[in-house]
Structure 1
Amino acid sequence: MTSSPRLSRRHLLGASAVLGAASALGLPASARGAGGGAAGAVVPVDRGPLRRYRARDAAGRRIRAILAGSARYLIGPWYAATYRTYLPDGYIDLRGTDERAIRLPAMAAVAATTALATGVYDPRDLSAANAAVRTRNLVRTLAARHLASNDDPATRWGNGWQTALWAYYTALAGWLFWDELDDRERGHLAAMTAWEADRLTTGDDVHLVGTSGHQLYERRRDGTAVTPGDSKAEEDNWSAAVLSLAEAMMPGHPHAPAWARRNVELLLAAAACPADLTGDETVNGIELSTWLQGTNIADDGTLDNHHILHPLYMVAFDQSLYEGFVYGLAGRSAPRAALHNITRVYSALVDKPFPVPGGTAKTIYQPGSGEIHYPEGNDWGTHFPFYFGNFDLLVSLTAQDTGIDPAAARWERLHNEEQLRLMARFDDGRTYGASGENTYYGREHRIGAMAGQAFLTLCVARNGRLRFT
């Protein structure tokens, strides 16, 4: 494997740099202020844990292999087939502003930056130097096209239902690749991150943003369904993600305390269950029974989405657990709220029986197997072992499987060995073949983003820096 590009810690991005970059673009005052604040500064990622972890343990070898293959495919064949020209302003043509145009390259950037920064990158088809050029193209273009630094309605993105997640992926990749970016690109990245984080601080204990529109809960306190069959858990925790990253990257920013508070609120809302509404638990200063105004999961740890009980959305709490590495890279502890009710959800995956025809019952996790039982079906396809193996790893590393048998580490092996078997079918690092295996158009990118974040969590954990308080 090649060594990673050198990323020093000497650079800090102050508010003046952000404002200067925006001013040079002639942006309106509202956009120019998005990344600023007198104390605003991006502190480069602490790369010590990334350099020290060698992935010699069994779980590490599996995640390393998944990341290496996925990054090789995404920054190699996928990039080459997707981005063929530069536009007159020097950026690559993203060919749109929707999820396919923005989220997919942002997820690819997470895989590639992680692989390059940790030395996991496999250069057999494309050198690390050329991979770094392509990766920088993704990061700098995505950040520049965000509306915080872009007033062209034809190319700008942001301020949408899912754009906090896209900004999180882009910002994470940029934070890992900080030394590869120039001052203007860093300004775009900081402005984008702060803008999307600020938008989320406008919500309250009922609404995600503002005082209307998307709500935090599927069900109100009295049990009335706001969005029947559609938990808001995933939306809440992907929104929390950009808040955590903004605060970890820019701890001196004047808005950092508001980002930290809102992050905790969204994490708790994401995993809220009926028992929380009548209990006496206080987490990170929030009294659950008083602040929570609804629920997203059942007391037995299950949740529904797309009008079915949906295991794929149960493991979407991976986004909450990733906060451990985000804060760990900044040398800090993540909020305890990120772990709220994770054990409850994991127990439902491992231990809860669901009736099947013939009068018997099956658990979602199948004993001694990498197969998954979907009690009410799966409308996304047939093959998702890494979605579960990734969650197993995170649960194991955060010790959220206490009292659950078999333990999460055993399930991680079963599910990720199945993932590696899928990848072994191809020689370019990809996971999927027939479309029915996973019908999401960003299926390879989703694997890459999960693998990158799983490996970063391992790096932090194996260096004793995965902490929650």
Structure 2
Amino acid sequence: MNSPHRLSRRTLLGGSLALGTSAAFGLPASAHARARTVAAGEVVPVDRRSIGACPAADAAGRRITAILAGSARYLIGPWYAGTYRTYLPDGYIDLKGTDERAVRLPAMAAVATATALVTGVYDPATLSAANATVRTRNLIRTLAARHRANNTEAATRWGDGWQTALWAYYTALAGWLFWDELDAKARGDLAAMTAWEADRLTTGDDLYLVGRGGHQLYEKRRDGSVVTPGDSKAEEDNWSAAVLSLAAVMMPGHPHAAVWRHRNIELLVAAAACPADLTGDTTLDGIRLATWLRGTNIADDGTLDNHNILHPLYMVAFDQSLYQGFVFGLADLPAPRAALHNITRVYSALVDKEFPDPDGTRRTIYQPGSGEIHYPEGNDWGTHFPFYFGNFDLLVSLTAQDTGIDPAAATWERLHNEEQLRLMARFPDGRTYGPSGENTYYGREHRIGAMAGQAFLTLLMARNTTGNRLRFA
């Protein structure tokens, strides 16, 4: 068990705040072996001394600060204490499995708490920052050690799965932020895990996400024929892009970094591809859309479907593309322009597009003057999701992707995040949800925390006292 210790001043990010085409199968067969032996020394840590503060003096800043502080307090407090009670003989906590519940949930919690701790947002009202640091470090080092890049035990290893790129991204992001708090073993495990998952995704081409027989990049082919009915591949593409972007930024001198950077761009372009992109001469980050794209994931009107319905919750899943702004910003680099591809188109569909009701009237997804959301074909995840939209509103506002849209994203951010804070105010421990029907996902609190952490980091990059680091090439 690691002994508790306080975060040093140098670990704080803005501590004044209170509250062309990559070759298909382009890596050699030894790529994964290389990933397993990647050195922690190849990671370039965040230069915290060069990053100023984010006073978050405006109302939007105060809202996201409160959401992150409450969520992190709950996750590293009551949730952690009720989930992890003992250490295993090897010194790691027991993840109790290798599936999404066992891996993704603690990884999302680590993003929330690591962000809150290193930015000074953490609220120690019920658990000291020193003890929260120990718990956060335990999550990060255990998750990294159990990844298959570092673990040969089939019963306890995770990785190489449909969603594991996202789990690795969360773990790596938390670890990168918490680098000063990790020992050499944890650092090496994080680097190897991140490189391994990134390398796996470079085996695809302009049709497949992973390999010639792997996951498709598109719901529909160029000719309009459907590959995966009712199931846009947008979310999978942009969560896979996330680990590629982070690997390239964390390890810019790695031999595979250039391939990671380009594959990241390809997946961002594919994620938001619509039929209008298949013609014309638009080029993004060196990729000519009309000639490279082999299909589409969203409609020209900015909508998409998932679970066989037009699904607003998956429209705002483009938050993962916009988070690339802070990932690159932490290294003081511009993010690829492809991260903004068709965001305005999607956001306009949320705000302005009208959908027919059975009684003949028409309604928009965003309800005028209200924090309520209209789901034109229903919502199979539950009833209460204001922060999913408030998070996206904040990102769209900070990246200026609401040009020409009225009301602007800042208006909707207030409505949706005030509703989020009302949900949280029902509980003294920082959680958001009560009855399971409000949000049926078993990681609902963790999802709030991961979004809040990444939204706060985006705000920190955009409004930093050293200058705007939220830039796109």
Q: In the aligned structure 1, how far is the partner of 2:52 from the partner of 2:180?
A: 15
Q: In the aligned structure 2, how far is the partner of 1:138 from the partner of 1:303?
A: 35
Asked whether the equivalents of residues 70 and 447 of structure 1 are also in contact (C-alpha less than 8 Å), the reply is yes
Q: Give runs of aligned pairs for residues 50-449 of structure 1, distance below 5 A.
A: 52-449=53-450
What is aligned with 1:460?
Answer: 461
Deviation at 1:393?
Answer: 0.3
Q: In the aligned structure 2, how far is the partner of 1:101 from the partner of 1:440?
A: 14
Q: In the aligned structure 1, how far is the partner of 2:51 from the partner of 2:140?
A: 20
CA pair 38-386 structure 1, distance change in 2 beyond 3 A: closer
Q: In the aligned structure 2, how far is the partner of 1:228 from the partner of 1:308?
A: 10
Asked whether the equivalents of residues 37 and 254 of structure 1 are also in contact (C-alpha less than 8 Å), the reply is no
User: Runs of 5+ in structure 2 lacking a partner?
Assistant: 1-5, 13-29
Q: In the aligned structure 2, how far is the partner of 1:138 from the partner of 1:169?
A: 11
Partner secondary structure for residue 301 of structure 1: coil
CA pair 368-126 structure 1, distance change in 2 beyond 3 A: same
CA pair 418-61 structure 1, distance change in 2 beyond 3 A: same
Which amino acid is 2:253 matched to?
G
Partner secondary structure for residue 35 of structure 2: coil
What is aligned with 2:23?
Answer: none
Q: In the aligned structure 1, how far is the partner of 2:218 from the partner of 2:73?
A: 39
Asked whether the equivalents of residues 50 and 456 of structure 1 are also in contact (C-alpha less than 8 Å), the reply is no
Q: In the aligned structure 2, how far is the partner of 1:369 from the partner of 1:67?
A: 23
Q: In the aligned structure 2, how far is the partner of 1:51 from the partner of 1:121?
A: 18
Q: In the aligned structure 2, how far is the partner of 1:206 from the partner of 1:458?
A: 34
Deviation at 1:255?
Answer: 0.4
Partner secondary structure for residue 441 of structure 1: coil
Normalization by structure 2: what TM-score?
Answer: 0.93
Partner secondary structure for residue 34 of structure 1: helix
Asked whether the equivalents of residues 38 and 191 of structure 2 are also in contact (C-alpha less than 8 Å), the reply is no
Deviation at 1:277?
Answer: 0.4
Deviation at 1:449?
Answer: 0.1
Q: In the aligned structure 2, how far is the partner of 1:252 from the partner of 1:280?
A: 33
Could you report, residue by residue, the CA deviation over 1:146-197 in whole angstroms, capped at 9, with x for unpaired residues?
Answer: 0001000010000000000000000000000001101111000000000000
Asked whether the equivalents of residues 38 and 188 of structure 2 are also in contact (C-alpha less than 8 Å), the reply is no
Which amino acid is 2:300 matched to?
D
Q: In the aligned structure 2, how far is the partner of 1:434 from the partner of 1:329?
A: 38
Deviation at 1:33?
Answer: 2.2
Which amino acid is 1:340 matched to?
H
Q: In the aligned structure 2, how far is the partner of 1:242 from the partner of 1:80?
A: 29
Q: In the aligned structure 1, how far is the partner of 2:41 from the partner of 2:252?
A: 8
CA pair 361-247 structure 1, distance change in 2 beyond 3 A: same
CA pair 84-38 structure 1, distance change in 2 beyond 3 A: closer
Which amino acid is 1:144 matched to?
A
What is aligned with 1:26?
Answer: none
Deviation at 1:54?
Answer: 2.2
Asked whether the equivalents of residues 32 and 149 of structure 1 are also in contact (C-alpha less than 8 Å), the reply is no
How many percent identity over aligned positions?
Answer: 81
Could you report, residue by residue, the CA deviation over 1:332-380 in whole angstroms, capped at 9, with x for unpaired residues?
Answer: 0000000000000000000000001222100000000000000000000
Normalization by structure 1: what TM-score?
Answer: 0.93
Q: In the aligned structure 2, how far is the partner of 1:4 from the partner of 1:53?
A: 19
Q: In the aligned structure 2, how far is the partner of 1:220 from the partner of 1:230?
A: 13
Q: In the aligned structure 2, how far is the partner of 1:341 from the partner of 1:134?
A: 39
Which amino acid is 2:114 matched to?
T
Deviation at 1:442?
Answer: 0.0
Deviation at 1:35?
Answer: 4.8
Moved over 4 A (4+): 3-9, 29-32, 35-40, 48-51
Deviation at 1:37?
Answer: 6.1
Deviation at 1:279?
Answer: 1.9
Which amino acid is 2:333 matched to?
R
Deviation at 1:38?
Answer: 8.7
Which amino acid is 2:435 matched to?
A
What is aligned with 1:46?
Answer: 47
Question: How large is the Cα RMSD of the aligned pairs?
Answer: 1.7
Q: In the aligned structure 1, how far is the partner of 2:283 from the partner of 2:9?
A: 43
Which amino acid is 1:112 matched to?
T
Q: In the aligned structure 2, how far is the partner of 1:367 from the partner of 1:214?
A: 39
Which amino acid is 1:468 matched to?
F
Deviation at 1:48?
Answer: 4.5
Q: In the aligned structure 1, how far is the partner of 2:64 from the partner of 2:102?
A: 27
Asked whether the equivalents of residues 40 and 184 of structure 2 are also in contact (C-alpha less than 8 Å), the reply is no
Asked whether the equivalents of residues 217 and 233 of structure 1 are also in contact (C-alpha less than 8 Å), the reply is yes
Q: More displaced, 269-278 or 356-365?
A: 356-365
Partner secondary structure for residue 354 of structure 1: strand
CA pair 54-222 structure 1, distance change in 2 beyond 3 A: same
Which amino acid is 2:295 matched to?
G
Which amino acid is 2:408 matched to?
A
Q: In the aligned structure 1, how far is the partner of 2:90 from the partner of 2:136?
A: 18
Asked whether the equivalents of residues 328 and 460 of structure 1 are also in contact (C-alpha less than 8 Å), the reply is yes
Q: In the aligned structure 1, how far is the partner of 2:50 from the partner of 2:382?
A: 36
Q: In the aligned structure 2, how far is the partner of 1:194 from the partner of 1:236?
A: 18
Could you report, residue by residue, the CA deviation over 1:284-312 in whole angstroms, capped at 9, with x for unpaired residues?
Answer: 00000000000000000000000000000
Q: More displaced, 244-253 or 41-50?
A: 41-50
Which amino acid is 1:247 matched to?
A
